[in-house]
Chains A and B, each alone.
Chain A
């Protein structure tokens, strides 16, 4: 059974810092891995999707990497801003589009 863990559970940084969020999964047989952000009381916004054959994806200040052999993905946020404050979730696609979600990292960026 696939299990997904995210570290740290919470992170507080001053504006402008570069930061890394970590996601670990137990079964390397994934089809892809997707990163989302969730604002309080809201739905999920898709940030990046990495196919199993890819090593990384970039969108603006966000860069996500994937290492299937070690069961890890990282989300790198450059030059963080207060608007980046949210909960970040990673999800592993285990097949038939079934997503197994991580526990989330709650990010707070202070002005």
Chain B
């Protein structure tokens, strides 16, 4: 398995500002993923982050709004830029572990409220 931590665990932000969320893993992983869970909804993949390359974004998500960094094999950040109330969600990072199983493990999430 993998132990994943996220910072901050929650935050309340003003409209128009930006927030950077950190994700730390206890072991080296090739792929890290960022998901969004809007209130009452299931999870939606935002982007896939591989170390040493640009993140790959899913349809509906753009780099200017959600810039991602992946400076090494245990760490990634997601920035939510120019926030609006519609960005209020739980943001989760995950990693894929296991040479054969491709099982994914998730961090505890960051609960973001935008006023």
A51 CA to B103 CA in the complex, in Å?
Answer: 10
* Beta-carbon contact of A49 and B101 below 8 Å: yes
Q: How far does the Cβ of A88 sit from chain B's closest Cβ, in whole Å?
A: 11
Comparing B11-19, B61-69, B70-78, B104-112, the segment that makes contact with chain A is B104-112
Specify which of B42, B104, B106, B111 is in contact with A103 (CB 8 Å cutoff): B42
Q: How far does the Cβ of B25 sit from chain A's closest Cβ, in whole Å?
A: 13
A101 within 8 A of B: yes
Size of the B side of the interface (Cβ < 8 Å), in residues, is 23
Size of the A side of the interface (Cβ < 8 Å), in residues, is 24
B96 within 8 A of A: yes
Interface of A (DSSP majority class)? strand
B83 within 8 A of A: no
Number of CB contacts from chain A to chain B under 8 A? 57
A76 within 8 A of B: no
Digitize A38-68: 1 where CB-to-B-CB distance is under 8 Å, 0 elsewhere. Answer: 0001111110010100000000000000000
Give chain A residues whose Cβ lies under 8 Å from the Cβ of B48: 96-98
Q: Decide yes or no: A101 and B103 within 8 Å by CB, A41-B111, A42-B108 being known contacts.
A: no
A36 CA to B107 CA in the complex, in Å?
Answer: 13
Q: How far does the Cβ of A43 sit from chain B's closest Cβ, in whole Å?
A: 4
* Beta-carbon contact of A44 and B92 below 8 Å: yes
* Beta-carbon contact of A42 and B104 below 8 Å: no
B115 within 8 A of A: no
* Beta-carbon contact of A97 and B101 below 8 Å: no
A42 CA to B92 CA in the complex, in Å?
Answer: 10
Nearest A residue to B2 via CB reads A46
A30 CA to B58 CA in the complex, in Å?
Answer: 18
